[in-house]
Amino acid sequence: MNKKKSLFILIILIFSCLSYPRISIKKIEPPNWWIGMKHNKIQLMVYGEDLKGVSAVFNNENIKILKVHNAESASYCFIDVVIPENLPAGDYQLKLFKDNSQADIIFPLFSRDAGEKRYQGFSNKDVIYLIMPDRFSNGDTLNDTIYGFRDKLNRKSPIGRHGGDIQGIINKLDYLKDLGITSVWINPLVENNTGISYHGYAATDFYNIDPRFGTNELYKKLVEEAHQKDLKIILDHVSNHCSIDHPWLKNLPFKDWINGSIRNHLPARHHKMIYSDIHADSSSMKNVSEGWFVDDMPDLNQKNSFVSNYIIQNTIWWIEYTGLDGIREDTYPYLDQKFAAEWAKEILDEYPSLNIVGEVWTGNSLFLADYQKGNQLSVTPETNLPSVTDFDMRDSYYKYLTGTGSLYNIYETLSKDFIYPDPDNLVTFIDNHDLARGMFYAKGNIKKVMIALALLLTTRGIPQILYGTEINMIGGEDHGTLRSDFPGGFPGDSLNAFEIKGRNQNENEIYDFIKTLLKFRKIYPELAEGKLIHFPPEKGIYFYFKILNDQRIMIAVNDNDTSHEINLQKVFTQLGKTKMLKNISSGENIQLSEDTKIQLKQNSINFYKIIN
Ligand SMILES: [Ca+2]
Ligand SMILES: [Ca+2]
Contact between 110 and 87 (Cβ < 8 Å): no
Question: Beta-carbon neighbour count of residue 84 at 10 Å?
Answer: 13
Say how many Å lie between the CA of residue 138 and the centre of ligand 1: 5
Give the integer Cα–Cα distance in Å for 175 and 165. 16
> Within 10 Å of residue 597's Cβ, how many Cβ atoms?
12
Q: Which of 210, 320, 330, 336 is catalytic?
A: 330
Q: What is the pLDDT of residues 170-203, one digit of tens each?
A: 999 999 999 999 999 999 999 999 999 999 999 9
Cβ burial, residue 412 (10 Å; 0-12/13-18/19+): middle
Task: Say which ligand is closest to the CA of 299.
Answer: 2
pLDDT tens digits, residue range 342-389?
999 999 999 999 999 999 999 999 999 999 999 999 889 999 999 999
What pTM was computed for the model? 0.95
**pLDDT tens column, 288-329:** 999 999 999 999 999 999 999 999 999 999 999 999 999 999
Rounded to the nearest 10°, the torsion over CA 499, 505, 508, 510 is -150
Distance CA(33)–CA(88), nearest Å, equals: 13
Could you tell me the distance, in angstroms and rounded to a whole number, from the CA of residue 207 to the centre of ligand 2? 20
pLDDT > 90 in the chain, percent: 93
CA–centroid distance, 146 to ligand 1, in Å, is: 10
**Ligand that lies nearest to the alpha carbon of residue 141, given by its number in the listed order:** 1
Ligand nearest to the CA of 330: 2
Which sign, positive or negative, has the C-alpha torsion 217, 218, 222, 227? Answer: positive
Residues 41-85 have pLDDT tens digits of 999 999 999 999 999 999 999 999 999 999 999 999 999 999 999
Annotated catalytic residue 330: yes
**For the segment 125-177, what is each residue's pLDDT rounded down to a tens digit?**
999 999 999 999 999 999 999 999 999 999 999 999 999 999 999 999 999 99
At 20 the pLDDT is: 58
- Ligand 1 mean position to 166 CA, how many Å? 8
Share of the chain above pLDDT 70, in %: 97
3-class DSSP state for residue 177?
Answer: helix
Question: Catalytic site residue 359?
Answer: yes
Residue 367 Cα to ligand 2 midpoint, Å, equals 18
pLDDT band at 594; cut points 50, 70, 90: confident
What tens digit of pLDDT does each residue of 107-123 get? 999 999 998 899 999 99
φ and ψ of 419, to 5 deg: -75, -20
For residue 451, the CA-to-ligand 2 centroid distance in Å is 38
CA 399 to each of CA 402, 479, 558, 603: distance values in angstroms, whole numbers, following the listed order: 5, 20, 17, 17
CA angle 258, 262, 264 (to 5 degrees): 95
Confidence of residue 5 (pLDDT cuts 50, 70, 90): low
Is the pLDDT at 9 greater than 80? The verdict is no
**What pLDDT shows up at residue 595?**
87
Contacting residues for 328 by C-beta, under 8 A, at least 6 apart: 185, 234, 235, 236, 237, 356, 357, 359, 427
Residue 10 scores a pLDDT above 90? no
Among the bound ligands, name the one nearest to the CA of residue 144.
1
DSSP 379-391: SSPP----EEE-H
**Which of 359, 390, 431, 526 is labelled catalytic?**
359
Instruction: Report yes or no: 358 and 371 within 8 Å, Cβ to Cβ.
Output: yes
> What pLDDT band is residue 6 in, cutting at 50, 70 and 90?
low
Across 11-28, average pLDDT: 71
Q: Provide the pLDDT for residue 314.
A: 98
Euclidean distance between CA atoms 472 and 470, whole angstroms: 6
pLDDT tens per residue across span 425-469 = 999 999 999 999 999 999 989 999 999 999 999 999 999 999 999
Measured from the alpha carbon of residue 171, the closest ligand is: 1
According to the model, what pLDDT value does residue 612 have? Answer: 85
Quote the ligand 2 centre to 292 CA distance (angstroms). Answer: 7
453 CA distance to ligand 2 centroid (A)?
34
Q: How far is CA 132 from CA 65, 196, 211, 213, in A?
A: 41, 14, 16, 11
